[in-house]
Structure 1
């Protein structure tokens, strides 16, 4: 009988998320479908028509991305000017919302293929932008509530709750948990 060292037991692997499971085959299926639809369009008309569709989608997408980028930069500049002049920020303007979704729509238009073009065109419609924005916000807030302590969601929650003025105060954190008291020392910041 040998009395060697026992092999270490590793904890069970965490379950793979649905996104990591279904994203690669979904992307592969999407690419195959895009290529197949382009060949169907080329067979129904001609290769020149497909080339014109691809170029038109790229040009339209680049115009949309450029316009959304300019609008976002203009809104950023106005916000910075208001903060410097200490003016009261007005209510959110309708043209300041949806820049991200408009850029995403433009990028989808730039990707060659009829399915991505249709999705990009849909994202340019204001009712669709509002619906997608509401759904994304609800999903983000639900995931944030479900986040465990010590995760990225917990960091977002803490950043939102503490120090809205952005000031950092060097100091010491004392956590009083039942039965234990731990101290974590943070060095002062160099200024």
Structure 2
């Protein structure tokens, strides 16, 4: 039995690649080429040490932002575990979630000037609010189910749609002694 191999039925074509899967490698390659071109342009105008200083400053600033957002998320988690009934309110001056803040820090850490600009847009409060609203509109229909759905989805599905149930039997461990009857002397 092979896992991952799809069986093809006569008359049915395999599902095609989506538009995003087709153009994502091309978009990433174009992004990298544009980043390198911009870095070379700035290096020609300002010098190589300036570009190196910009890249190091981006990594340092991004790691600081990610560390701060992670610490804030950890504090909110511990606060919510201490008071189980209420959700913790964001501190004054912060707007709640840390996802865009962490994304901004990650984009600052990625070498390049375009990624730094995108990271700063994620960190600047007015543009962060606009991004949060636009992403929120796109994810209105998404609602993750309970934990049981995750286990339901984790089961193995064959190509014909049948679910294969099973259990793991470890052969490297000795079997447990049975205790359901009288024990015989050894």
Q: TM-score, normalised by structure 2?
A: 0.67
Q: Which has the higher contact order (CA 8 A, sep 6+)?
A: 2
| 1:55 Cα deviation after fit | 0.4
Cα 1:76/1:90, change in 2 over 3 Å: closer
How far did residue 90 of structure 1 move? 5.8
Greater per-residue strand proportion? 1
Give the superposition deviation at 1:10. Answer: 5.0
The one-character-per-residue Cα deviations of 1:103-155 (angstroms, maximum 9, x if unpaired) are 1100100001000000001100122222212222221224x4xxxxxxxx7xx
Instruction: Give the distance between the partners of 1:8 and 1:110, measured in 2 at CA.
Output: 47
Q: Which structure has the highest helix share of the two? A: 1
Alignment RMSD, CA only?
Answer: 2.4
Q: How many residues align?
A: 140
Question: C-alpha distance in 1, partners of 2:9/2:65?
Answer: 56
Whether the 8 Å CA contact 2:80–2:88 is kept in 1: the answer is: no
1:22 CA displacement: 1.5
| Rounded Cα–Cα distance in structure 2 between residues aligned with 1:124 and 1:22 | 28
Report deviation, 1:96: 5.8
Deviation at 1:95, TM superposition (A): 2.7
Structure 2 unaligned segments of length 5 or more: list them: 1-7, 149-186
Q: How far off is 1:8 after superposition?
A: 5.5
133, 146, 158: which is aligned to 1:159? 146
Structure 1 segments unaligned to the other structure (5+ residues): 1-6, 145-152, 163-191
Instruction: Give the Å deviation of 1:13.
Output: 2.3
TM-score for the superposition, normalised by structure 1: 0.66
